[in-house]
Amino acid sequence: MSPLSIHEKIDEARAERSEIEQRMTDPAVIAGPDYRELTQRYAHLRELIELGEEWEGLQSSIAEEEEMLESEEDLREELEEALAEDRERAAAIEAKIRLKLVPPDPNDRKTAIVEIRAGTGGDESALFASDLFRMYARFAERRRLKTTLMDTHPTPLGGFKQLTFAVEGEGAYGLLRYESGVHRVQRVPETESQGRIHTSTASVVVLPEAEDVEIEIDPNDLRIDVFRSSGPGGQSVNTTDSAVRITHVPSGIVVTCQDEKSQHKNKASALRVLRARLQDRADQEQQAELSAKRRSHIGSGDRSEKIRTYNFPQNRITDHRIGLSLYDLTGVLEGGLDLLLDALQSAAAELGEEE
């Protein structure tokens, strides 16, 4: 994107912000159903304009420093240093502006429902599923998002065959949306006496939480079963019929939740997951004709698509969709996903511009 294009986009954002400010003073608009969406758009434009103003200030500084280089020979070293620093900052802000200019997905601000399932690799795969959950929980904590476990199926060694959790907070789904797919780990398991590297997998599915008004569920379409929770032990496990299994008969989707002590809370959690899955199914049908370019570069979210490898011997993590490798696997597993997620969002923004 050329500097002229950025200037034009920022001017357009300023004009739209002024228009929204006028509309937000209208009592009819304030009381209307679209007011919330309007305030969200206003906040988005405000962030874009703030970035644009910082970028414009840097462009002015860069032009001034380039001009001074031609006449201030005694200050050349200081000017070249300042110029390099300003160009680097301007490039970083331009990348952020590119992301802001991509039309936001209305789902991006929603709560994320995340499901992790152990794949190939037996006990090691279940332990890897636990590692992935810890990684996302640490990342959410860094971003001041709330993580709530909804359903878990633990293994005796401390792993999980399957677990479902919610990540709640502004923009949770937008942050995690590209995590869907098969994650592969290469490492020496603790149970391996010969020191051989094993390869295991776990699949991740990230869904935006659907609101009641988006997905209406007919109670007559549900078959609800209650049963005793299972697990390695603990209070209220195997003592009461608190676990809930909900089957949505028309679609065949089955959801179980057993982590709460209350049957009522487990039912509420199961309905949250069911709505998200039904919304996802509807979205998948609507987006079946996404461009081949976007599918091949960012990924379709297909459950069988290998998106990332975690290589412990080399301390390397590689995202296969964008060809990015980072040699800080330990840091990423501690929640340091920012570089990966930023790169994925940038790649998506570039594809959006091309299309």
Average pLDDT over residues 298-325: 82
Whether residues 183 and 223 share a domain: the answer is: no
CB count, 10 Å around CB of 295?
Answer: 14
Domain match, 170 and 301 both = yes
From 250, 271, 286, the end of a domain falls on 286
Token duo for residue 334: 């501690």
Torsion region of 26: left, alpha or beta (phi above 0 gives left; psi -120 to 50 gives alpha): beta
Q: Where are the alpha helices (DSSP H) in 74-121?
A: 76-101
Q: What is the CATH number of the domain that holds 257?
A: 3.30.160.20
Q: Euclidean distance between the first and final Cα of the chain, in Å?
A: 14
pLDDT above 80 for 302? no
Between the alpha carbon of residue 182 and those of residues 138, 142, 152, 171, 246, the distances in Å are: 20, 24, 19, 23, 26
CATH code of residue 143: 3.30.70.1660
User: What is the domain extent for residue 223?
Assistant: 219-286
Question: Are 184 and 253 part of one and the same domain?
Answer: no
Q: Examine the domain organization and report whether 189 and 315 are in the same domain.
A: yes
267 is a domain residue:
yes
Low-confidence winner among 176-185, 199-208, 342-351 (lowest mean pLDDT): 342-351
Asked whether residue 167 is domain-assigned, the answer is yes
Q: Is a pLDDT exceeding 80 seen at residue 151?
A: yes
Cβ atoms 260, 230 nearer than 8 A: no
Do 256 and 348 belong to one domain? no
Q: How many domains does the chain have?
A: 3
**Confidence category of residue 260, pLDDT binned at 50, 70, 90:** confident
Q: What is the pLDDT of residues 74-112, one digit of tens each?
A: 888 889 999 999 999 998 898 888 878 876 677 888 899
Co-location of 303 and 155 in the same domain: yes
Instruction: Answer yes or no: is 130 within a domain.
Output: yes
Does residue 194 share a domain with residue 144? yes
Tokens for 171, please give them. 């923009």
Same domain, 297 and 321: yes
Average pLDDT, the chain: 86
DSSP 188: -
* Pair (81, 8) in one structural domain: yes
pLDDT at 160: 96
- Beta-strand ranges (E) seen in 169-296 are 181-187, 198-208, 222-227, 243-248, 253-257
Q: What is the dihedral of CA 34, 40, 41, 47, to 10 degrees?
A: 170
- Within this chain, do residues 20 and 76 fall inside the same structural domain, yes or no? yes
| pTM score of the predicted model | 0.70
| Sign of the CA dihedral running 189, 190, 192, 197 | positive
| Banded model confidence at residue 221, pLDDT cuts 50, 70, 90 | very high
Is 107 part of any domain? no
Domain boundary among 286, 315, 334: 286
The residue among 286, 320, 340 that closes a domain is: 286
106 found inside a domain: no
Any domain includes 214: no
Same domain as 117, residue 81: no
49 & 191 share domain: no
